[in-house]
Amino acid sequence: MISAPKVHSRRRARPCGRRQRGVVAVISVIWVMVALIGLMALDIGNVFWQRRDMQRLADTAALSAGQMIGGGCATAQAHGVGSVRDAGAGTVNLKPADTLVIECGHWDPTKPALPGPTPYFAASVTPYNAVNVNVSRTVPFLFAFNWNSPSRIVSAHATAASPDMNAFSIGTGLLNVSDASPVNQLLNGLLGTSLALDLASYQGLAGADVKLADLLTASPLQFGTMDALLDSKVKLKDFVLTAAAALSTKDTVKANVLYGIAANIKSLDVSLGDLIDLSTATPGAASQASVNVMDLLVGAAQVANKSSFVDLGTSINTPLATVGVKVAIIEPPRIAIGPVGTSAHSAQMRVLLDIKALNVNLGVASLAVLNLPIYIEGASGTATLKSMSCAPARADASLTMDVETGLLSTCISGAAASSMPTGSNSSFCSTPATVTALTVPVILLGDVGVTINATVPVKASSSVRHDVVFGAGGAPGSAVSNSYQVVNQNVVGTALSGLVGTLITESTLTPVVKLGPIVITTPPAVSSLLTNVKSALTSTLAAITPQLDALIAPLLRTLGVDIGYSQIHQMSMRCGDVQLVY
């Protein structure tokens, strides 16, 4: 058998070769695409790298310029440019062809948003507290995009705010207190404690301060952030323990005084937002402010007793008279922290001096007690930060405050002490006070009942306004940290006793005479009795004036209530705490 030629086998091999050549073409196309994608990735990566480099430049220039914004816009701009141009090896450098623009302005996120990438930055608006930096660079395309456009502009911007911060209060402190007794009495009444500390302990607290940042991390509360601190309603005892823990990192002796005070504080809640007024849009910078420990303690105690009635007990007890003191805190004091324009307020409160004249001889009758309830209402004084001047040397720094003393009004009133936290002053003082009720023998009528009521127009002190300068150019010895100044200081005791004496002189004593249940016309014997009552009250008050001055006035001052007098406590001033805000 003869086999046929195997020509068909060669014919089948040809399609296989064509398929192999097709695979090579496909693979080549894929590799070309991969190469193009790789080149595109290089271009894109270069753009993003350049953008990140631009952002570093913008951040560096913004932070550097922001540190010097207090020295003026030109100084800040020069400092910002110098930080990124020709800065030396190993640093972020601006290339000669790059564009750098530094704007000075005011940053305030509490204002309505503005159009643009930095909605809360207003360029060229004073007072300057921020800078806005824009950096741009032309970046060439190396490979893939070169046929469409040879380059693109890459830009970045940053905003840095540097609001100068100040912490201060008005109306509280221990500047002129020479006896610990009124302070113990005040704190025992507010805190429910039985303190008997000496003056040195209180003066130690008055000279101590803590950073808000330390309060944020101290136990037991550990707030964490400024917003959490200001939004917190906590136990007063826990807050004092937290302040003690924050203080213990630098002064264990003073911290132990606070720990001792906190040990027996009664259960009271305190809203810290009512104590600290943070008037700044940069809480991070505010956390570096220092606040006075004694102001924190007394202020927190008053906040915890807001809208409540506190009986501080009897302050004067003599054979001639006794004087009890009751306090109602209408609005607590506020510690202010913030830039220029920030205001601190002293407490608004009512104080009852419950004066009882003892063993009074009225001629026609002798009495064991004559009552004279005198109410003092202290309206809030205000201190507003008017200007700040930072300087490299601390001794050259200064600040100015516009201080307005609070109005002080007094009256004789029969209103119940429990109603002290409520009601307007005019309505509160319109209730006549019953000075005494007694029986008087009258010819032809026999014994008649006489009730003597006292009323007096509301007396108010005038408000005084002054500029107060701390630091360079201020009063001798004043400084921008932990310093006190007094506006319109009077001899407080003289002013207090004079105010009380004026009330007696100008008061109207009105008798209500009854024969049995029937009200009758006032007989002459009762008219002479009124003169004797007013004389007895006047002489009794004159006799107790030295003790009124020595004991009551310091107590009122510790509460922040004084006559034509405001004490401003400048706690701490911070400059150049710059931070990126955008």
Please tell me the predicted confidence (pLDDT) of residue 261: 95
Q: Domain for residue 508, yes or no?
A: yes
Domain that holds residue 461: 165-562+573-580
Task: Give the 3-state secondary structure of residue 551.
Answer: helix
504 contacts: CB under 8 Å, gap ≥ 6: 372, 534, 537, 538, 541
Based on the fold, state whether residues 109 and 244 are members of the same structural domain.
no
For 307, the token pair is: 């809208």
Kindly indicate the confidence band of residue 143, based on its pLDDT and cuts at 50, 70 and 90: low
Please tell me the predicted confidence (pLDDT) of residue 561: 66
Kindly indicate the confidence band of residue 226, based on its pLDDT and cuts at 50, 70 and 90: confident
Based on the fold, state whether residues 157 and 222 are members of the same structural domain.
no
Q: Domain for residue 341, yes or no?
A: yes
Return the minimum-mean-pLDDT range out of 42-56, 82-96, 465-479, 488-502: 488-502
Span 105-127, average pLDDT? 85
User: Which residue, 112, 129, 161, sits at the end of a domain?
Assistant: 161
Q: Is 308 exposed, middle or buried (0-12, 13-18, 19+ CB in 10 A)?
A: middle
Q: Domain for residue 19, yes or no?
A: no
| SS (HEC) of 82-135 | HHHCCCCCCCCCCCCCCEEEEEEEEECCCCCCCCCCCCCEEECCCCCCEEEEEE
Comparing CA positions, the residue from 496, 468, 495 lying closest to residue 484 is 468
- Centre a 10 Å sphere on the Cβ of residue 493 and count the other Cβ atoms it contains: 19
Comparing CA positions, the residue from 106, 563, 175, 566 lying closest to residue 344 is 566
Kindly indicate the confidence band of residue 1, based on its pLDDT and cuts at 50, 70 and 90: very low
Based on the fold, state whether residues 427 and 288 are members of the same structural domain.
yes
User: Cα(first)–Cα(last) distance of the chain, in Å?
Assistant: 96
Tell me the DSSP string of 46-58.
Answer: HHHHHHHHHHHHH
Based on the fold, state whether residues 402 and 457 are members of the same structural domain.
yes
Domain count, the chain: 2
Please tell me the predicted confidence (pLDDT) of residue 328: 86
Based on the fold, state whether residues 150 and 170 are members of the same structural domain.
no
Q: Domain for residue 1, yes or no?
A: no
Kindly indicate the confidence band of residue 363, based on its pLDDT and cuts at 50, 70 and 90: confident
